[in-house]
């Protein structure tokens, strides 16, 4: 076993550990501030960034995947310590001046880029602030770290709290596969965990049951929901938005969106709004036609809890299959085997499961290697369970640094094994898995030996989704489908007729999906450009994007963790922007040989290996030969308007 690849999940006294590391870091920063070259300025900071990053990552990871009140209480004690540390580093004028001196040093292109980005980082971290303004800036950062954790905790606890015992008769419309997920000793138990919720909204014939579960889900962590009002996030959201606005003001920006855009590829908030508005215009006519088709099919006006149900029925009628027809062909073992073989063909690396005890029996430890030996690890935690944050994500444990190879965590909330059945994945879940592995490969395949720019570190937020969106396209290739499919009972690969149905139905209701994502993105950017009530901002955006009303209890913002507990504030548009890049990149690779081609290898070399060490758009153009065009996304999404 490579010890430098094994995270320490027995975390010990985390408050004491973080205190000692941050104190060590501040001392090293003061020493570095007197330096005049890369070795004396950057390397001491890299060392502490590596050590502190490991501890922070494990603590945050365990708090998300194995939540307990006891651990969270200890974890919360470390948040002000970490926030204070980075505030002190960001406000260290002597260290800032040391980086300015490095601009004239003899450095590589990568080092020059890192220095330039570091200087901007100092400036956006309040290094120019004095006295009370500097103190207030640091205090805000501490408050925001605690509020973000509180938001996430409220969503998790609200989600876990709601349960409903039902009878078999109430679950009319379910197949045995869906029933197995909710079967308990006596009867059946519904929850708001994503796999259970999606099954209910898709298959349950009972409109009243769908309505009840929908209302519980859409009102989580609010004052009007069916769960405890103690988990209401409204005040937390208001405080987060107010503090972000104040933070931006201290730095001289008119609003937080301007501050957020400063470190992204796009040039201005106006550019973001224009991009999203154009997507709305280009997709709305098609979306209206899709909704009209669905309502005609249903034969009555649609409520929000009807959309997934009738969409599935319509999809079955149009394309001749239903989601549950596919799942028997995608047992976990086959999906992972095919995913790993796809990665090997794309990038010339192997992915092998290794034996190692971790924090949970569900976790699989994967070792990645090429002809030169081991290059990193991925810890895959795939199944949904209680006390695990919803959604899917990748986070890094460590980057490439000295003798330490990259290690990443991939977390999903996918279907679990039931009884004698293996985990059978929905096709949408497979797309999610490929997406998160795209992020992980971006991290693990790095050739950058500096923690501040290795893997995903230092990558502009509107570029970080490119590798993940790019990987999604491969789910639909015939060779890949054959490699990931093997009927859990017969071993048969997915039949040709079902494969063709997946392909032709890929862009089913793509106009509606585009509008929905643009709605989220426009709300996000406008909310962070305005002092108006965020619900009022959403209502204004919906005048442009919405095709049907929402219910009074709709509080989806109260559980929008990407914005209030993640890194996507004033940056949710990155998903759509990265889709433009990904569609353009995939089309280019396909036209130039596909999987394993020189174009495929060039994507690895120009994008994945360089991380945040060079200008991201320049690297994209080096790979592609030109800037990406919006038409690629519209074409890939099947939007013709």
Supply the residues annotated as catalytic: 436
Both structure tokens of 23: 């104190």
Residues 6+ apart with CB under 8 A from 513: 637
Helix axes 616-624 and 574-591, enclosed angle (nearest 10): 20
Quote the CA–CA distance of 237 and 560 in Å, as a whole number: 10
String of b and e for 443-454 (b: at least 16 CB within 10 Å)? Answer: bbbbbbebbbbb
User: What's the full length of the chain, in residues?
Assistant: 641
Quote the CA–CA distance of 586 and 472 in Å, as a whole number: 10
Q: What is the DSSP string of 343-366?
A: HHHHHS-EEEEE----SSTT-EEE
Residues 6+ apart with CB under 8 A from 600: 346, 347, 589, 593, 594
* φ/ψ of residue 44, rounded to 5: -65, -35
β partners of residue 398: 407
Residues 6+ apart with CB under 8 A from 141: 83, 86, 87, 247
Quote the CA–CA distance of 507 and 504 in Å, as a whole number: 7
What are the CA-CA distances from residue 94 to residues 4, 91, 146, 191, 224 (Å)?
Answer: 33, 9, 29, 54, 51
Helix (H) or strand (E) segment spanning residue 220: none
Quote the CA–CA distance of 538 and 523 in Å, as a whole number: 5
Residue 338 burial by Cβ neighbours in a 10 Å radius (0-12, 13-18, 19+): buried
Contact indicator for 351, 343 with CB cutoff of 8 Å: yes
Contact indicator for 256, 244 with CB cutoff of 8 Å: yes
* Neighbour order of strands in the sheet with 364-370: 350-354, 364-370, 373-383, 407-414, 393-398
């Amino acid at each position: 076993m490579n010890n430098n690849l094994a995270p320490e999940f027995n975390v010990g006294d985390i408050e004491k550990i973080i205190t000692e590391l941050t104190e060590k870091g501040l001392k090293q920063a003061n020493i570095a501030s007197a330096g005049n070259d890369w070795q004396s300025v950057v390397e001491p900071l890299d060392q502490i960034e590596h050590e502190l990053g490991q501890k922070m990552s494990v603590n945050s990871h365990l708090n998300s995947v194995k939540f307990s009140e006891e651990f969270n209480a200890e974890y919360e004690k470390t948040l002000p310590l970490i926030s204070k540390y980075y505030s002190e580093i960001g406000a260290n004028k002597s260290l800032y001046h040391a980086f300015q001196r490095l601009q004239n040093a003899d450095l590589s292109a990568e080092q020059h880029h890192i220095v330039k980005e570091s200087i901007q980082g100092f400036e956006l971290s309040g290094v120019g602030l004095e006295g009370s303004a500097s103190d207030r800036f640091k205090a805000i950062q501490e408050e925001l770290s605690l509020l973000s954790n509180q938001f996430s905790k409220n969503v998790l606890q609200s989600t876990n709290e709601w349960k409903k015992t039902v009878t078999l008769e109430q679950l009319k419309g379910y197949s045995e596969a869906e029933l197995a997920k909710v079967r308990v000793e006596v009867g059946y138990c519904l929850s708001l965990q994503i796999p259970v919720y999606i099954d209910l909204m898709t298959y349950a014939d009972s409109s009243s049951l769908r309505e009840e579960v929908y209302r519980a889900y859409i009102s989580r962590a609010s004052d009007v929901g069916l769960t405890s009002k103690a988990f209401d996030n409204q005040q937390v959201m208001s405080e987060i938005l107010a503090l972000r606005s104040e933070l931006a003001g201290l730095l001289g920006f008119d609003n937080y969106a301007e501050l957020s855009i400063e470190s992204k590829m796009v040039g201005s908030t106006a550019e973001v709004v224009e991009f999203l508005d154009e997507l709305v215009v280009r997709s709305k006519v098609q979306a209206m036609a899709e909704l009209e088709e669905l309502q005609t099919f249903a034969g009555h006006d649609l409520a929000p809890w009807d959309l997934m149900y009738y969409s599935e029925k319509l999809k079955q009628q149009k394309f001749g299959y239903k989601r549950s027809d596919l799942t028997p062909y995608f047992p976990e073992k086959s999906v992972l085997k095919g995913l790993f073989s796809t990665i090997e063909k794309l990038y010339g690396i192997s992915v092998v499961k290794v034996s190692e005890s971790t924090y949970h029996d569900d976790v699989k430890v994967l070792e990645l290697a090429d002809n030169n030996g081991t290059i990193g690890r991925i810890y895959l935690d795939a199944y949904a369970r209680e006390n695990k944050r919803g959604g899917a994500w990748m986070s890094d444990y460590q980057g490439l640094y000295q003798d330490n190879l990259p290690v990443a965590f991939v977390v999903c909330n996918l279907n679990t094994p039931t009884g004698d059945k293996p985990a059978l994945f929905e096709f949408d879940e497979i797309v999610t898995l490929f997406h998160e592995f795209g992020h992980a490969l971006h991290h693990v395949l790095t050739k950058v030996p500096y923690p501040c720019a290795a893997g995903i570190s230092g990558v502009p937020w509107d570029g970080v989704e490119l590798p993940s969106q790019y990987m999604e396209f491969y789910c639909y290739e015939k060779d890949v489908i054959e490699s990931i499919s093997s009927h859990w009972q017969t071993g048969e690969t997915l039949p040709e007729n079902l494969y063709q149905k997946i392909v032709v139905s890929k862009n089913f209701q793509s106009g509606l999906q585009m509008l929905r994502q643009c709605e989220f993105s426009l709300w996000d950017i406008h909310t962070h450009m305005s002092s108006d009530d965020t619900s009022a901002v959403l209502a204004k955006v919906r005048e442009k994007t919405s095709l049907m009303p929402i219910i009074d209890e709709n509080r989806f913002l109260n559980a929008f963790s990407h914005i209030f507990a993640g890194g996507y504030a004033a940056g949710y548009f990155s998903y759509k922007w990265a889709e433009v890049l990904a569609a353009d990149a995939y089309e280019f690779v396909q036209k130039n040989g596909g999987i394993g081609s020189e174009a495929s290898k060039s994507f690895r070399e120009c994008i994945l290996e360089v991380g945040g060490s060079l200008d991201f758009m320049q690297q994209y153009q080096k790979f592609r030969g030109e800037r990406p065009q919006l038409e690629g996304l519209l074409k890939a999404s099947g939007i013709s308007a």
